[in-house]
């Protein structure tokens, strides 16, 4: 961040930064959501919400009906977690103000909906298209949901995931202000 804003780094950092730290920084993102289970925990709630909103839009049940855009913000780790869950992260370290764009489009000829995904890692550059493995760049909405199903939250299937398996466990009392 200091380098991006033109600030001089201390002399001692030159022997480590950026080359030696690049790999370690990438690994820290990988380990944050290393398994499909971790990706489900870290990215599943957001992806489930976003895909449900897309399904609502495609079936004309989205409220408010005229909504054309959702904007969410998050940290660099959130961006990577979502990209890892969709298997589209290529170890690019998200810079300050990076963004992932998910665009829902309707094919005028078929009436079917598809999603395009872009990643912009530099505010001075154009967002680059990303393709989910097993799909085309213009990925049909239902296929994208199917390909992501392993990390999406299913209320029926996942209802007991947060329940303790320890019979001696006692829920702590709620504390208020």
pLDDT in tens, 118-173: 999 988 899 999 999 999 999 999 999 999 999 999 988 877 776 778 888 888 88
Q: How many CB atoms lie within 10 A of CB 7?
A: 8
Q: Is the pLDDT of residue 109 over 70?
A: yes
How far is 136 from 172, CA to CA, in rounded Å? 48
Residue with tokens 């990076």: 98
CATH of 11-151, one of 3.40.50.720, 3.40.50.1240, 1.10.300.10, 3.30.56.10: 3.40.50.1240
How far is 158 from 153, CA to CA, in rounded Å? 7
Q: Which of 29, 24, 51 is nearest to 39 (CA)?
A: 29
Q: How many CB atoms lie within 10 A of CB 43?
A: 23
* pLDDT, position 177: 65
The average confidence (pLDDT) of the chain is: 90
Contacts of 157 (CB under 8 A, 6+ apart): none
How far is 123 from 108, CA to CA, in rounded Å? 31
pLDDT in tens, 1-15: 667 777 888 888 888
Residue spans of alpha helices (H) in 98-171: 141-148
pLDDT in tens, 36-45: 999 999 999 9
């Amino acid at each position: 961040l200091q380098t991006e804003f033109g600030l001089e780094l201390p002399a001692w950092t030159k022997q480590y930064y950026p080359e030696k730290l690049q790999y370690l920084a990438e690994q820290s993102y990988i380990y944050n959501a290393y398994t499909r289970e971790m990706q489900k925990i870290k990215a599943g709630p957001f992806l489930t919400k976003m895909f449900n909103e897309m399904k609502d839009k495609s079936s004309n049940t989205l409220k408010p009906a005229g909504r054309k855009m959702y904007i969410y913000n998050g940290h660099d780790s959130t961006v990577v977690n979502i990209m890892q869950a969709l298997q589209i992260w290529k170890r690019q370290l998200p810079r300050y103000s990076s963004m992932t764009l998910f665009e829902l489009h309707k094919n005028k000829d078929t009436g079917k909906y598809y999603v395009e995904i872009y990643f912009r890692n530099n505010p001075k550059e154009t967002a680059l298209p990303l393709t989910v493995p097993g799909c085309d760049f213009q990925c049909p909405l239902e296929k994208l949901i199917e390909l992501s199903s392993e990390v999406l939250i299913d209320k029926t299937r996942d209802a007991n995931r947060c329940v303790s398996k320890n019979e001696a466990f006692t829920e702590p009392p709620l504390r208020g202000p």
